[in-house]
Amino acid sequence: MRLREKKNEVLASLISITDGQERFAWLIARGKRQAALDPSLKTEAHRVEGCLSKLWFAAEYRDSRCYFHTDADSMIVKSIAGLLCEFYSGSYPHEILKLDPSFLAEVGIHQHLTSNRRNSLSKVWGKIHTFASECLERHECAMS
């Protein structure tokens, strides 16, 4: 599924949820279904710095696509980071770089988050963006 289609799917799911607590419940339910990060990746090298909770992030590039995995010791942070990772996983680097997660603000994801949780969301997006940029650069260099 292309990112634009995924975006429409996420927006359709969230637009009908007008209550902030229900939106959190939706996020938490997704987070609980999220696979745990392999314990071997829960290292300082994979920690996302600047987050109050422990948040780990791992990325891989295979078959010309980016894949992202995350875990956290806070269920809300895990759910938010997981939403971003799930959303962007399986996408081509150039697609990722064309669509930032600002569309989540349209459906109220940001308005009910504390500044620390918004910071975690921003940090994960930064890692996704950086990884996609690096993959695109390596791929273009390998082709020339």
- The CA distance from 87 to 33, in Å, is 14
The number of distinct structural domains making up the chain is: 1
Confidence of residue 90 (pLDDT cuts 50, 70, 90): very high
Confidence of residue 19 (pLDDT cuts 50, 70, 90): confident
- Dihedral, CA atoms, 134, 137, 139, 142, nearest 10 degrees? -130
pLDDT at 1: 67
Average pLDDT, the chain: 88
Angle between helix 3-15 and helix 75-88 axes, rounded to 10 deg? 140
pLDDT at 143 > cutoff 50: no
- The CA distance from 121 to 86, in Å, is 13
Q: Show the tokens assigned to 90.
A: 């399986």
Q: Quick: pLDDT tens for 41-57.
A: 999 999 998 878 899 99
- The CA distance from 68 to 66, in Å, is 7
Range of the domain at 130: 3-143
- pTM score: 0.88
CATH value at residue 65: 3.90.1010.10
